[in-house]
Structure 1
Amino acid sequence: MRRRHRAIGISFLLVVLLPALVSAAYLWLVAADQYESRFGFSVRKEQTQSAVEILGGITEFSGSSTSDTDFLNKYIRGRQMVQVVDRELDLSSIYQRQGDPVFSLASDASIEDLEAYWSRVVTVFYDSSDGLIEVRVLAFDAASAQSVAQAILAESSRMINELTAIARSDVTRYAKDELDRAVDQLKTARQTLTEFRSTTQIVDPAADIEGRMGILNSLQSALATSLVDLDLLLKNTSPSDPRIIQTRQRIAAIEQRIQDERASFSTSRTKDEIPYSKLVGEYEALHVDLEFAEKNYVAALTGYESALADAQKQSRYLATYVAPTLAETAKYPRRGILLAMIAGFLALGWAIAVLIYYSIRDRR
Structure 2
Amino acid sequence: MTTLQQLLGIELPIIQAPMAGVQGSALAIAVSNAGGLGSLPCAMLGSDALLAELSTLAAQTSKPYNVNFFCHRSPLPDAVRDAAWRAALVPYYREFGIDAAAAPNAPARLPFSAEAAELLAEFRPPVVSFHFGLPAPELLARVKSWGAKVLASATTVEEAVWLEAHGADAIIAQGLEAGGHRGIFLSTDLSTQLGTFALLPQVVQAVRLPVIAAGGIADAKGVAAALALGAAGAQIGTAYLLCPEAGTSAVHRAALKSAAAHHTALTNLFSGRPARGIVNRVMRELGPISAAAPAFPLASAAIAPLRAHAESTGSGDFSPLWSGQNASGCNEIPAAALTRELVALLR
| Higher RCO, 1 vs 2 (CA within 8 Å, ≥6 residues apart) | 1
Greater C-alpha radius of gyration: 1
From the two aligned structures, give the one with the greater helix fraction.
1
- With normalisation by structure 1, the TM-score equals 0.18
